[in-house]
A and B are shown apart, each in its own frame.
Chain A
Amino acid sequence: MADMDAEVIKVERPGNGDKARTRGPFPGHSPHPEKSGLFLYLNANKYGVTIDITKPDGMLLLERLVDQADVLIHNVWPPEMDRVGLSYERMRVINPRLVMTSITPYGMSGPNRKWRAEELTVWSAGGVCVLNGAGPDYPEMPPLKTFGSQAGFQGGVHGAVATMGAVIAQLRDGEGQHVDVSVQESIVSQLELTFEYWPYMGLVATRLGRKPIQPIESMQCKDGWIYLCCVEEHQWRAFVEVMGNPEWASEEIFADRIKRADNWEALKLFLEDYCSQHTVLELYKKVQEKRVPFAPVSTMGDLLNSEHLKARGFFVEIPHPVAGTQTYPGAPLKYQATPWEIRMPAPTLGQHNDQIFGERLGLDAARITELKRTGVI
């Protein structure tokens, strides 16, 4: 929303601020609250203020911000909301037009509403973790978490969708509402075809399932990994052609995609041998010319050096007063009429306190000093 030119005022707790300030990665691997990559990436284009909402004066200050806002989005954990008295009922009294979105691990109702949650536990509760692992040949290897903060991201982006829906209704009706987004449900909503295996067929889908067709697998090349992906028969035929029509490829045991899965152990040896003699980009470009959807198993360096992403201008440089000028992922979408742009870097902790509390809310300097002294901001 900030990248789409909404005026976003990020509210952090005084002192430590957002936990993302501790998550890194950090330049030189030295932790510093103004140099955390995750924080800097997620908070560009936002203003930053500090308010301790556990203090009555802090809650009053938040209410004054809410009075002027179209939307309040938070991911305060429900028991913490109860403790500090943050609720939609309270905020709607201040501003009936307000859309308030609560993004919480398990949603605002139900028996697990107050459950503790971390990235790993919610990703697991959402039913993804069980699907990932080393496959049927390594049953001793456990389900595997996907890298990073995927549960958090999915809660965020589904929350953005629901919030924009409520904002469009606000524009139409002049009224606000409460939007309750469950991170767990956001994940369960996207389990591909796996969830329905139970209600339709009475089958449990796990990491130990064998692939019904092949090759759909990573394979090592001279200089890295490539992902082979022959779903359709014509794609396999095109790949065989790229390989120079080797004799083994005409064996009956590799005749169709199901046979290739049944005889994967044998096929794997031939493909490993072939791939080990080629580079990733060379093979990728050759098969893509024949419309076969292989892809490199991209390293971070591959992404930064990709000629395609360079031509698209995907990565952007953002200067920051403390972290310096660094390269970040940019816009995933290009809007023709309303272009995306970085207008300012992520805020330092409390950077815009004077501007927002003074100019916007009309607090005088003495009052701001008093709020600082008492730790409210």
Chain B
Amino acid sequence: MAKAPLDGVRIADFTWVWAGPYCTLQLAHLGADVIRIETTNRPCITRVLPPWPEGKPGGLNRSGYFNQYNQGKRSITLNFRNTAAHEIARRLVGHSDVVINNFAHGVMERMGFGYDALKRIKRDVIVMSLSGYGDTGPYRDYVAYGPAQVPLSGLSALTGYKGWPPMHSGFSYADPNAGVHGAFAVLAALYHRAKTGEGQYIDMSQWECAMALLPEGILEYTFNAHEPERIGNSDAQMAPHGVYRCVDRPERIAGNKIDQFVAIACADDIDWGRLALSMGRPELAADVKFVTFAARKRNEDELDAIIAQWTSNRRAQEVAEMLQHAGVAAAVVADNKYLSEEDAHLKARDYFVYRNHPEVGTRQHAGVPWKMSRTETAVRSAAPTIGQHNDDVLIGLLGYSEEDVAKLRAAGALD
């Protein structure tokens, strides 16, 4: 295999929580040397959130959340209340190609690490700020937290059961979405630099990246001055189209029954005929109530009830496989246990990674969502413990002596 695409590219990673780390995770997957700048005084929030190994909380290095999104990166700790830490950071920028942060607007400037200052350290540096609201506009100083970004974007107003209030997306979706848009922006800027020698500043707004995901909603409004209704799991052009209750998981987990569902989508009459046949009810396909898309849409509640009755005493996986065999789009509504242990496809693709970590051992983590035929692309190591690479980076990269590092440590610059 040839070297990874970003082999030799270094990222000074001032990001934290989720949007920023998800951005630099993509760059680490592509081979960049991502160095997270952390501090023990105010550790990344994800270091102190669950899930914890076997449910036992404690320490800064054991969270499954942090350990997922920081795989393949290095970590150093700098205490910016100590002026020596600023000098270390400046040296690191001098050895970096890209500097990324997801602080609110103005934080980097106040620390003396605004774009102009960084450009003086390295002429062609690429700097990206991945803030909630962007660098300009009246709300640029507003605070953005992951869960609130989904409703802010407009996705909540569009998502929900028919006749119900706005819902969420189930996770802080706007964060990773901003991260991956940001990774693309950095790659485009690296390409531009390779062609022209020119670095640049990128102002990225998490809010705007999320609005890139809802053109169908925004354009219904700009085209027709109409707010789209919430339509649950149904679709304007497909019926049946929904998730249907199957039998519960056979085992109880932590004392709880876990329900399971199968997702089914019929794109046309042919798909619907296949589904009816699979249910052992071929006559339904010819029934005037269901024979055309328009008829199925008119009688959608009745249709969904018939399908739900059929799925109700079957396992979700059995239904999905049976329908796929018949050529109908169907899938288990997968939960984390299903993905982890029961999805034979992900296993066959070697999607999950298992890297040894000094404090949590070898755990299963989500890996790289693409494969490359010629160059390497991989999770190279488990997530770093906090400050794990202080010596590596300060001595190996930045040219400090062991003695210097001992002094810096004693002075608290590396807290």
Contact = CB atoms under 8 A, between A and B. Distances in A.
Interface of A: 1, 4, 22-29, 37-38, 40-42, 88, 106-112, 115-134, 139, 141-150, 153-154, 157-162, 164-169, 171-173, 175-182, 184-186, 188-208, 216, 218, 220, 225, 227, 229, 231, 288, 291-304, 307-309, 311-312, 314-315, 326-329, 331-338
B374 A177 contact: yes
Given A108-B371, A229-B147, 9 more contacts: A118-B238, A130-B334, A145-B232, A158-B180, A166-B375, A197-B64, A198-B339, A300-B220, A336-B201
A231 B52 contact: no
- The 8 A-B pairs of least Cβ separation, nearest first, read A196-B64, A132-B170, A131-B170, A37-B219, A300-B221, A177-B374, A337-B200, A164-B187
Contacts of A199: 64, 340, 363-365
B176 interface: yes
A116 to B, nearest CB: 4
B29 to A, nearest CB: 8
Interface in B41-71: 46, 49-55, 64-65, 67-68
Given A121-B264, A196-B64, A333-B181, A24 B216 contact: yes
A185 B263 contact: no
Interface residues of B, number: 163
Interface string B145-172: 1111101111111111100111111111
A297 B198 CA distance: 40
Interface in B199-254: 199-205, 208-209, 211-224, 227-228, 230, 232-233, 235-238, 241-245, 249, 253-254
A336 B185 CA distance: 12
B265 interface: yes
B334 A124 contact: yes
Given A42-B215, A225-B151, A167 B209 contact: no
B222 A326 contact: yes
Given A107-B371, A199-B364, A200-B64, A168 B151 contact: no
Nearest to A205: B336
Contacts of B233: 120, 142, 144-145
B218 to A, nearest CB: 6
B333 A134 contact: no
A193 B143 contact: no
Contacts of A131: 170-171
B237 A23 contact: yes
B374 A225 contact: no
Contacts of B237: 22-23
A342 to B, nearest CB: 14
B5 A166 contact: yes
Contacts of A227: 147-148, 151-152, 156
Contacts of B115: 336
A111 B238 CA distance: 26
Contact of B67 (A27, A107, A172, A196): A196
Report whether over half of chain B's contact residues are helix, strand or loop; otherwise say mixed: mixed
Contacts of A106: 345
A207 B267 CA distance: 27
Contact of A299 (B157, B194, B344): B157
Nearest to B336: A198
Contact of A27 (B169, B194, B224): B224
Contacts of B365: 196, 199
Nearest to B232: A144
A330 to B, nearest CB: 8
Interface stretch (B73-81, B130-138, B295-303, B405-413): B130-138
A348 B367 CA distance: 39
Interface string B274-285: 000000000000
13 contacts: A23-B216, A125-B332, A134-B161, A134-B164, A142-B243, A165-B187, A169-B4, A198-B336, A204-B249, A204-B256, A295-B149, A300-B218, A315-B222
A131 B204 CA distance: 28
Contact of A124 (B139, B157, B258, B333): B333
Nearest to B204: A333
B138 to A, nearest CB: 5
A118 B4 CA distance: 33
Contacts of A116: 324, 327-330
A225 B166 contact: yes
Interface string B91-104: 00000000000000
A292 B168 CA distance: 19
A198 B223 contact: no
B265 A118 contact: yes
Contact of A125 (B55, B133, B188, B331): B331
Given A132-B167, A158-B180, A337 B192 contact: yes
Contacts of A107: 349, 371
A111 B370 contact: no
Contacts of A177: 372-375
A4 B30 CA distance: 21
Choose among A24, A119, A185 the residue with the greatest number of B CB atoms under 10 Å from its CB.
A185
B335 interface: yes
A295 B132 CA distance: 11
B216 A148 contact: yes
Contact of A329 (B185, B218, B241, B336): B218
A22 B405 CA distance: 63
Given A199-B363, A337-B198, A300 B217 contact: yes
